[in-house]
Chain A
Amino acid sequence: MQSDLLEVTSRTDDSSAAVEPLLQIEDLSIGFDAKSGDTLAVLRNVNLSVHAGDAIGLVGESGSGKSTLALALMGYLKRGLRVLNGATWFDENNLFALTRQQLEPIRGGRIALIPQNSGQSLTPSQRIGVQLEEALQLHTALKPGQYQDRIVELLAQVRLPDPGKLVARYPHELSGGQQQRVAIAMALAGDPEVLLLDEPTTGLDVTTQAHILTLLREISQQSDMAMVYVSHDLGAIAQVCNQVAVMYAGEIMLQGDVKQVLREPLHPYARGLLASIPRLRSEALPQALDGRPPAPGEVSNECSFADRCVLADTACRSQRPELMSLPSGERVRCHYHHRADAIPVTVESIQGARKEVASLTPVVSLDNLGITYHRSGLLKQLLGLEDQNTPTVQAITLALQSGETLGLVGESGSGKSTILKSVAGLLPPFEGQMLWRDNERLPETIKQRSSKQLRKIQIIFQNPDESLNPRQTIGEILAQPLKLYFGLSGQELERRSIELLERVRLGSHYISRYPAQLSGGEKQRVAIARAFAAEPDLVLCDEVTSALDVSVQAAVLHLLDDLKRESKTTYIFVSHDLAVVRSLSDRVAVLYQGRLCEFGPAAAVYATPSHPYTEVLLDAVLEPDPDSKPLLMTDDVVELSPPAAGCPFQRRCPQSLGQQCNRETPPWHELDGGHFIRCHLDISKNRRGMSKLPTVELP
């Protein structure tokens, strides 16, 4: 009854505004039939109106139903899903009631989609030109003779270089950013009224992402095309959208103006989400949102966020709140939205203890490490020819102090993970050496390392789905290092396993479960527990939070920080996310093309970015703040291999000095306490009261 009433009011609202929505989702529920025979909803009673000129962001974590909703806007359902209730209205038609033939002119013509992963969404066997031509042929009145000109025009509109040549390329011959631009051009080809964007920048490097978002913002400003932008990334949404709808467990929890939602949202979940995002300007760990979202079918007549909400009481658990329209124009699904401002959206208290690092005993030192993936061919080896390829990673000299966290940052291909693999003994370097503690040489391969050396260095991988054996129980997974390194068995083994589970905040009942029965965050906790089972001195974290949702990520970051303090472990923390690295690291090393650019205390590197590449990286980071705009310092070209000589960043550097940068390897400068920069530029010029410093050797 109540929901009927609401619908009526929302309808009258629309007519009073006298603007009919272009596209309207009305009380839409979508679900699937589970094996148990129940019908489980992944989208519940969603109402959403899209008007011309709107730019609506749909934000939510994985499983929130945001992608299902985006596809529902085109009348499309993934295999297995069905409409339980409601409709998508477009032009007086319920899209779900139309046949495929009737939908064909609408899809790609009047409503177009920019997909998440363009690399996989472009047909691999067709040239770019053919795929764009198909869109024109299907959705425009152009004559075949005019296609070529229009294609070139579209490709130029999305700023692709040399469109004339590009049309003859196959998708795999383009970089990720270029593929995404082609997908945008293809969506624009039919001159759509509504543009749907499904995570269009996820998986791209920060600089590429900033470029694509700037392009999208311009496109939306230049036309009155409506945009619906789906993303898990509030930072990206802040750049493009003027309205945001926050999704949780298949429901819209909050919808309103982007500034309102990103600054002072009225829903506890939205506030928790904001607080869990690591910020570039803050060295505090983000606030974790405890618990996990409910699975489809787990909640029915209650608030789906109640289990994780600090405001929840019995009313929240017995009555599902309606999406209420507030006088301010926002819509919120919470009984206590007027009290939501009690929940902080930023983390103010800085946990100072973390910064006090560390004795000055080195744990591991890398001395002029060089690593290459190139293997010269059999013929070349037989003829004794030199390999002409420049090595993937070169001249890495770093010393890790006991108890510190060293962050390694850089874009994809910068060699971050490669260095970790070498330290772990998985990929022998071709030059340089690694030293363990008091100058004990660390052998290059696992086979040569002693059991003790192996135990002391542990690695945690990005994706626990791939690093945990799906056929073993959690108990068996944890037992392996305990048996191998400590020879435990029987009761002692079990006691220790449970202890480990408790250390990573998982209960002892997890011991008999399989990885598939755990959520992403729980699996990563198991992977962390396995690493700590060996009682290591050095833990290598390879993008450990990249596959996790932001609220889960915050909890894992807290866990890592706690464990480090408890057991005085040293971390090398690799991530492409500069804000995450900032929140955890004591010192940071910036890598480009496998070469170090900058190295120093986290606060110094982030506060006074001095290497041009660090500057480019930091300026491209998206903050969940509608007023911050990324600066595009340089183009987003992807370099396949480092230059043979000179500075690795020479080709993209906005401040390049030309010949000197192209030929000479830049020297290290020490700016202040332990902050080093490798650049030919006279950095002191940019700094107050600081004279040029002598070139020094890195410790």
Chain B
Amino acid sequence: MLGLLIRRLALGIVTILLVSVIIFAGVEILPGDACTAFLEREAQGKLLENCRSDLGLNRSATERYFDWASAAIQGDFGVSAGSKKSIATLVGDRLKNTLLLAVCAMAAGIPLALMLGIVSGLWRDKPADLVISTLTIFAMTIPEFVTATLLILVFSVWLGWVPGIVLTSANAPVSEFFPEILLPMTVLALVMIAHILRTVRSSVIETLSSDYAQMATLKGVPYWRMVFRHVLPNALLPTINVIALTIAWLLGGVVVIETVFNYPGLGRMMIDSISDRDLPVTQAIALIISSVYVCVNLLADLLSLVANPRLRTAQLQ
């Protein structure tokens, strides 16, 4: 078990390192650099050279990679080419806001997804399932910017219940984001619910038709006891990994939603940094998002390892 843990951790670290190399190389291959972007038309002669030596761009790529990577490990991503401020502080607030959005969406979405998934699995092909499954298809297939626009139209423009866009500044305290966060959170939760729900539903159906569920029935186990003791513990195991994937998508996929709602999160900062050609910031955000991705998946693997006796003891032997 411990050996496995260490192996998984090591693998995670290797993955992040590889990703950092790819990100760095990707930015490196792009024509131009932070200085040409910042100086624009004045990017020539002495001015360009000064800028480059200020930012240390005249050293070799390998050298700069190691400087960047080792500083990044310590939480220092350098300075933004645009505002000359520390990226760590700039990103810090944005990361907090994105996490707030994600956590809210998860807190509302995951329990709802599990519940609805179980309901539609247990009452397969009954009216409840048909309604839930149809809505799920809509939630999955309509792009989130369309859903977002529709929700704004209905709840903000027509009904006027909640604000349609977020005007709170990036460094405002958490409490100030309510109720503005409600709409973006709902849109995120919708897509997430749809994905998780479908997995839960099919997993419940499959488990219900398993030999051991039939055996439990033929052993005289009352229905709800069978559902809670024999079916759900086995049906929900595979959903751990789907939830992890969805969370990872959530953190990367907020880009669109943050843009639509003008939400001051990491995703919008990424878009801004790309259009400003603020390469150090782009690099930092890409690295942060991919690290979160790896961490969440790692966590899910470990969690399902702990929850599944079959995996757990197979590793012990």
- List residues of chain A with CB under 8 Å of any chain B CB: 71, 74, 76, 79, 100-101, 103-109, 112-113, 115, 117, 120-126, 134-135, 138-139, 170, 172-173, 186, 190
Chain A residue nearest to B215 (CB atoms) is: A121
Q: A170 to B219, Cβ gap below 8 A?
A: no
Distance A172 CA – B315 CA, assembled complex (angstroms): 13
User: Any chain A CB within 8 A of the CB of B217?
Assistant: yes
Q: B212 to A139, Cβ gap below 8 A?
A: no
Which of A107, A120, A173 interacts with B211 by CB under 8 Å? Answer: A120
Residues of B within 8 A of A106 (CB): 220
Q: A123 to B216, Cβ gap below 8 A?
A: yes
Q: A172-B310, A172-B313, A173-B313 are in contact. Are A125 and B215 (CB under 8 A)?
A: no
Chain B residue nearest to A100 (CB atoms) is: B223
Which of B212, B221, B314 interacts with A104 by CB under 8 Å? Answer: B221
Chain B residue nearest to A115 (CB atoms) is: B215
Known contacts A76-B214, A117-B211; 14 additional CB pairs below 8 A are: A71-B218, A76-B218, A107-B217, A107-B220, A109-B220, A113-B218, A121-B215, A122-B215, A124-B309, A126-B229, A126-B230, A172-B309, A172-B310, A190-B220
Q: A123 to B222, Cβ gap below 8 A?
A: no
Q: A107 to B219, Cβ gap below 8 A?
A: yes
Q: B209 to A101, Cβ gap below 8 A?
A: no
B54 to chain A, nearest CB (A): 44
User: Any chain A CB within 8 A of the CB of B233?
Assistant: yes
B152 to chain A, nearest CB (A): 44
Q: B220 to A124, Cβ gap below 8 A?
A: no
**Which of A74, A76, A115 has most chain B Cβ within 10 Å?**
A115
Which of B212, B221, B223 interacts with A121 by CB under 8 Å? Answer: B212
Residues of A within 8 A of B222 (CB): 101, 104
User: Any chain A CB within 8 A of the CB of B234?
Assistant: yes
Distance A120 CA – B213 CA, assembled complex (angstroms): 10
User: Any chain A CB within 8 A of the CB of B53?
Assistant: no
User: Any chain A CB within 8 A of the CB of B15?
Assistant: no
Q: A124 to B218, Cβ gap below 8 A?
A: no
User: Any chain A CB within 8 A of the CB of B70?
Assistant: no
Q: A139 to B220, Cβ gap below 8 A?
A: yes
Per CB-CB distance, the 9 closest pairs between chain A and chain B, nearest first, are A108-B220, A108-B219, A107-B220, A120-B211, A121-B215, A125-B233, A170-B309, A121-B211, A123-B212
Distance A122 CA – B211 CA, assembled complex (angstroms): 8
Chain B residue nearest to A127 (CB atoms) is: B309
Distance A124 CA – B211 CA, assembled complex (angstroms): 11
Chain A residue nearest to B307 (CB atoms) is: A125
A69 to chain B, nearest CB (A): 14
Q: A124 to B219, Cβ gap below 8 A?
A: no
Distance A135 CA – B221 CA, assembled complex (angstroms): 8
B227 to chain A, nearest CB (A): 12
Between A and B, 26 residue pairs with Cβ closer than 8 Å are A100-B223, A103-B220, A104-B222, A105-B220, A107-B217, A107-B219, A108-B218, A108-B220, A112-B219, A113-B219, A115-B215, A120-B211, A121-B211, A122-B212, A123-B215, A123-B230, A124-B234, A125-B233, A125-B234, A134-B221, A138-B221, A170-B310, A172-B313, A172-B314, A186-B219, A190-B220
User: Any chain A CB within 8 A of the CB of B275?
Assistant: no
User: Any chain A CB within 8 A of the CB of B210?
Assistant: yes
Distance A538 CA – B168 CA, assembled complex (angstroms): 78
Distance A420 CA – B217 CA, assembled complex (angstroms): 42
Residues of B within 8 A of A186 (CB): 219
Q: B210 to A138, Cβ gap below 8 A?
A: no
Q: B218 to A135, Cβ gap below 8 A?
A: no
Distance A621 CA – B14 CA, assembled complex (angstroms): 55
Q: A126-B230, A170-B313 are in contact. Are A74 and B218 (CB under 8 A)?
A: yes
A165 to chain B, nearest CB (A): 14
Distance A186 CA – B217 CA, assembled complex (angstroms): 13
Q: A125-B309, A126-B229 are in contact. Are A104 and B220 (CB under 8 A)?
A: yes
Distance A104 CA – B221 CA, assembled complex (angstroms): 6
Distance A103 CA – B220 CA, assembled complex (angstroms): 7
Distance A155 CA – B209 CA, assembled complex (angstroms): 28
Q: A120 to B220, Cβ gap below 8 A?
A: no
Distance A108 CA – B212 CA, assembled complex (angstroms): 14
Q: B219 to A120, Cβ gap below 8 A?
A: no
Q: A120 to B212, Cβ gap below 8 A?
A: yes
A330 to chain B, nearest CB (A): 31
Which residues B227-286 have CB closer than 8 A to chain A?
A: 229-230, 233-234, 237
Distance A190 CA – B219 CA, assembled complex (angstroms): 9
Chain A residue nearest to B308 (CB atoms) is: A125
Q: B219 to A138, Cβ gap below 8 A?
A: yes
Residues of B within 8 A of A117 (CB): 211
B225 to chain A, nearest CB (A): 8
Distance A173 CA – B317 CA, assembled complex (angstroms): 10
**Which of A105, A106, A121 has most chain B Cβ within 10 Å?**
A121
Residues of A within 8 A of B218 (CB): 71, 74, 76, 107-108, 113, 115
Q: B234 to A138, Cβ gap below 8 A?
A: no
Q: B220 to A115, Cβ gap below 8 A?
A: no
Chain B residue nearest to A74 (CB atoms) is: B218
Q: A124 to B217, Cβ gap below 8 A?
A: no
**C-beta contact mask, B287-317 vs A, less than 8 Å → 1, else 0?**
0000000000000000000001110011000
Chain A residue nearest to B223 (CB atoms) is: A100
**C-beta contact mask, B70-96 vs A, less than 8 Å → 1, else 0?**
000000000000000000000000000
**Which of B215, B310, B313 has most chain A Cβ within 10 Å?**
B215
